[in-house]
Amino acid sequence: MKILYSITLALGLLTTAAQAEPVKAGDLTIDTPWLRATPNGAKVAGGYVRITNTGTAPDTLTGAAVPFAKSSDIHSMSMEGGVMKMAPVSDGLTIKPGETVELKPGGYHLMFEGLTGSPKAGETVSGTLSFRRAGAVPVTFSVAPIGASAPGGPHQHQHQH
């Protein structure tokens, strides 16, 4: 029964990934993974996602991977003496049972490093999130414009002035 359930989840994941619907991985719901586009030559890119733990045991986000970055870290952001500081979260980001953790600009974020390409706004990027319990979970990041503070809606607005 448990195995069947997992297979159903895996199949569901394959069909929903392209539609940017929340991805279920075991007890985790992974909602709206997105990246910020980077200018050519940028060394790092920020990644964001909302993760909800509907289970009874904590899980920990330990890393992420995308094809255009050699490595990644999880960073926290905080104000210290009026200056925004980023610091690696060394032991991963724990999502307690019943909790939602949101990685977003100005807070926790994925920091992709050693970029070998630059994602462009409007693209989607296939990547992986790694969890201690749920394992490696394939996700599709949507790419928002450079400096965007939110992923934007499912449709593109055309602004004409």
Distance (Å) of CA 135 to CA 48, 65, 107, 140? 18, 13, 24, 16
Q: Which of 150, 131, 13 minimizes the C-alpha distance to 74? A: 131
Residue with nearest beta carbon to Cu ion: 75
Nearest distance in Å: CB 86, Cu ion: 4
The reply to whether 24 sits near Cu ion by the rule CB under 5 A is no
The reply to whether 35 sits near Cu ion by the rule CB under 5 A is no
Nearest distance in Å: CB 46, Cu ion: 6
Nearer to Cu ion (CB atom), residue 22 or residue 105: 105
Q: Which of residues 86-125 bind Cu ion (CB under 5 A)?
A: 86, 111
Nearest distance in Å: CB 159, Cu ion: 30
The reply to whether 144 sits near Cu ion by the rule CB under 5 A is no
Nearer to Cu ion (CB atom), residue 24 or residue 75: 75
Nearer to Cu ion (CB atom), residue 66 or residue 134: 66
The reply to whether 75 sits near Cu ion by the rule CB under 5 A is yes
How many residues belong to the site for Cu ion (CB under 5 A)? 3
Alpha-carbon span 157 to 46, nearest angstrom: 23
Alpha-carbon span 3 to 46, nearest angstrom: 35
Nearer to Cu ion (CB atom), residue 17 or residue 89: 89
Nearest distance in Å: CB 109, Cu ion: 6
Query: Which residues of this chain interact with Cu ion, rule CB under 5 A?
Result: 75, 86, 111
